[in-house]
Amino acid sequence: MDGRLQIFAGTSHPRLAAAIMEELEAPLGRALVGTWKNGETRVKLDENVRGSDVFVIQSVCNPYDHHLMELLLITDALKRASAARITAVIPYYGYAKQEKKTSGREPISAKLVANLIVTAGADRVLTLDLHAPAIEGFFDIPVDHLRATPLLARHLRRELEDGVVVVSPDAGGVARAEDFRVRVGGSLAIISKRHPDPDHTEILEMIGDVNGRVAVIVDDMISTGGTLVLAAELLRERGAARVLATATHGIFAGDALSIIDRSPIEQLLVTDTVPLPDPGIGSKLQVMTVAPLLAEAIMRIHKDLSVSVLFT
C-alpha cells in the first residue's frame, strides 16, 4: 500500500458523507453511483485507486436492499480496480435485528449481509452500535465497532442534575445502559418486555426505583417508537419526575416521530447515522452528528493507530 487515502460514498447519506470529508479536509472520491434505465444499480469509479487505502461510506438504511447493493457493487469495483485495502464504513448496519432465529424456517439476515460484504471484497468494517455485539463474529475480517454512548452521555450530562436513573428498555440493553450510567452517574433500572409478534411489544415489569427522579431511557435504535413510548408511560406511572430518551439510530418508521411527540418524553437525543428529518418547531428531537467520530476512526485506521481511545 502506497499510503494514499481515498474515500467514496454511496447515495444513502450524502449529508453525513460530506460532513465526514469536511472533518478530514479532503474531497470525496469521484464516482458514478446511480441506476440504469432498467432500474438496476450502476457504479463506475472515476479515479485511479490502484494501491490505495480506500474507505466506502454507506449506511444500509431505507431503502435497505438498494443501499446494500450499492455498497456491494462499489466494493466489487474497488477490488477489481486493485485497491490495496477496502474498509466498509457502515454507520447503520441494516438487518441487524435479524441476528438470530426466533422461530423455525427463518433466515439469519445479519449473517447473510456480513457474508455478502466479505464476498464483495471488503477487508475490514467500521460500524457504530450494532444491534447485537455478536454480529461482529459474523465477519471473518476485522471489525471496528464504535459506540455512540460517550458522545450522547457527554451531551446529556450537562443537562442532568442529581437523582438520575438510567433505564434499559429491555434486558439485552443492560450493558449499554450501564455504560451510560457510569458516565452520567445515578442508578440503573431495567424494563422487562416481550414481543408476541413482530413490531409489537408488551411491557412485563420494571426493576428499579424512579419515583421523583429524572429517568433517561437508553437504547440503540428507535424504529416505530412503540417500545420507547410504552417505557416512558410506565416510568411516569412509577413516579418519574421527567423522562428523557437517547438512542444511536433514529429509524423513525411510519409516524414514529408523531407518536413520540405526543408521549411523556420531554427530549429525544439521537445521532445522524441515518438521514433524519429536520426537527420542526416544538419537536422533541435533537440530533448529534457522528461525523467527527467516524472521521477520527478513518484516519486512525489509515495510519494503523489504535481505535480503542475513541471508546473513552
Residue positions annotated with a catalytic role: 193
Place of cell 437525543: 269
Tell me the residue type at 128: L
d(Cα 69, Cα 116) in Å, to the nearest integer? 10
At CA 147, angle to CA 3 and CA 219, rounded to 5?
Answer: 150
What is the distance between the alpha carbons of residues 97 and 191, in angstroms, rounded to a whole number?
Answer: 19
Task: Report the alpha-carbon distance of residue 209 to residue 211 in Å, rounded.
Answer: 6
Is 13:28 a contact under the CB 8 Å cutoff?
A: no
